Structures are given as C-alpha cells and as structure tokens.
Amino acid sequence: MALLCALVGPLAGGREARAFDVELRSPFAPCRADCTATLFAGQLVETSMWEIFLTKHQGPWDWRWGSSTFVGGAFSREVVRFDRFAAIETEVGVGKRFGSLHEGEGWGALYFRWKWFPWDAYLRTTLGISIGLNYATGVPVFEARRAGVEGQNLLHYLSPELTFGLPSRPDLDLIFRFHHRSGGDLPFFNRAGGGAQYGTVGLRYRW
C-alpha cells in the first residue's frame, strides 16, 4: 500500500485539500457499481507464459495455438479501492474445456487492478493480475507432458488481463485474459510447472 501511494502521489498532487482515500467495501453489502459478471472464451496456447511475457515478449501472432477451446464465467466484487487509481477484487469462476482437452475448471482468486491511465477520458483501461487457486477435474496428458511430472488437479491461478470500455458505458467492458494455471517449481503444487492456458476474449457487465 505504501508503494502504491508513492506511485500515485504525483498524480494526485493537485488535490492537496483531500487525502488519498483507501476504501474497504463489504463483500456482503448491496452492489454499488462494484460487482461484475464476466463471460469469456478462447483457444489453447501452447507457448509458455515464461516465453510470452519474460524471455521473448511474444505477441499473439507468434504464439503456438492448440486444438482446445475454453468457455468460462466469473463473478467478481471490488473489496478494496485505492482512490480512483487501483483496487483489489475477489473472484470466483467456473469453466469447461472442449476439443483435445475436456476437463472442467473452478477457481477462486484475488485480482490486483490498476485503473488509472491518462487516456481514460477517451478509452477506459485497466490492467489486472490474479493470485489464487484453480482446480481442474482431471489432469490431461498435455499438462503432465509439459510439467514432466505426474501433474496435479490443484494449481496456482495466475491470469493477467487487460480491459477496455467507453466512458459513456461504465457498465460494460471488453476483456482480454490470459487464462493460466500452473504450479511453478513449488513443492505444494508437486513442482508441476506450467498447466493448460488459454488466450481469451470476453465481455464484463458491472452493476
């Protein structure tokens, strides 16, 4: 929180009369434009997240696409708001794989979201990343082969996403989510490495 305040402090410099606001919101209170429902779908990505985001910085046109699709839905709720700049959200979701993979998935996560960009008056933009748990109803050969180990149903849920929306429609967003489950090199997840992941597109409704 201290780091976040330091980052946004210069942006709020013109509002000396008002302190930086941190608002806690009850997950059981009536929704106040802080509840969302999301539907998304996409294609299996066989290129590792490590290559995409860290070593090769590849765009979707360079990814290796697989023969499985994924359809999912999620409900989220904003529980901490850092002024107009950032937020923490809770999320629960379920989804189903089709094609070469056929397992179901369920997950629960916290999303850390940056909400302020200088062009927001023209195109609302947010950037989020999750930390959570993802449970799959089965461990396909695909995951075991990539991990080089037995694989595991329960893995970490790390799914960065980018959203866009029109200022005139604050209730509706277009989302791009890299739906990803993996175990990394953590003993808790049987050192299962990377799991199934999908490049997805979806719509989010807020109320």
Q: Is the pLDDT of residue 152 over 90?
A: no
What is the average pLDDT across 180-193?
74
**55-59, 73-77, 80-84, 128-132: segment of lowest average pLDDT:** 55-59
Among residues 17, 34, 40, 7, the alpha carbon closest in space to that of 163 is found at: 40
CA 27/CA 142 separation, integer angstroms: 37
* Average per-residue pLDDT for the chain: 88
CA 68/CA 197 separation, integer angstroms: 10
pTM: 0.85
Determine the Cα angle at 181 with ends 187 and 108, to 5°. 95
Amino acid 151: pLDDT: 72
Select the more confidently predicted residue: 11 or 161. 161
**86-90, 140-144, 172-176: segment of lowest average pLDDT:** 140-144
All residues at 6 or more sequence positions from 131 whose CB lies less than 8 Å from its CB, including other chains? 109, 110, 112, 156, 157, 158
Amino acid 204: pLDDT: 98
Amino acid 16: pLDDT: 43
The secondary structure element, H or E, covering residue 121 is: none
- The answer to whether 157 and 135 have CB atoms below 8 angstroms apart is no
Amino acid 8: pLDDT: 47
Q: Is the pLDDT of residue 172 over 90?
A: yes
CA 202/CA 105 separation, integer angstroms: 17
What is the average pLDDT across 6-17?
45
Q: What is the CA radius of gyration of the chain?
A: 18
Amino acid 19: pLDDT: 64
pLDDT tens figures, 113-143 = 999 999 999 999 999 999 999 999 998 887 7
pLDDT tens figures, 25-64 = 998 899 999 999 999 999 999 998 888 888 888 888 889 9
Among residues 72, 113, 114, the alpha carbon closest in space to that of 89 is found at: 113
List Cα–Cα distances, 84 to 30, 78, 135, 147, 206, in angstroms. 20, 12, 33, 40, 16
Q: What is the dihedral of CA 153, 157, 160, 166, to 10 degrees?
A: 100
Give, as one character, the DSSP assignment of residue 52. Answer: I
